[in-house]
Amino acid sequence: MSETMTDFARATQDILVAGQRMDARGWVPATAGNISRRLPDGRIAITRSGCHKGFLQAADVITVDEAGKPHRSGDKPSAETLLHCQIYQQDPTAGAVLHGHSVAATVLSMIEKGPALHLADYEVLKVFEGQTTHETSVPVPLFENDQDIARLAQVVAPSFGSMAAGYIIRGHGVYVWGKDMPTALARLEGLEFLLACLLERRKLGL
17 by DSSP, 3-state: which? helix
Per DSSP, what are the bridge partners of residue 44? 38, 64
Cα 78–chain centre separation: 13
Tell me: is residue 134 an annotated ligand-binding position: no
123: DSSP letter: G
Asked whether the CA dihedral 65, 50, 98, 179 is positive or negative, the reply is: negative
Q: Which amino acid is residue 113, in one-letter code?
A: K
By DSSP bridging, strand 116-120 and strand 44-47 are unpaired
Tell me: is residue 84 an annotated ligand-binding position: no
Contact at 8 Å (CB) between 184 and 178? yes
Which residue, 20, 19, 176, is CA-closest to 83? 176
Q: State how far the Cα of 186 lies from the Cα of 4, in Å rounded to an integer.
A: 27
Q: State how far the Cα of 91 lies from the Cα of 179, in Å rounded to an integer.
A: 9
Binding annotation: 99, 101
Binding annotation for Zn(2+): 99, 101
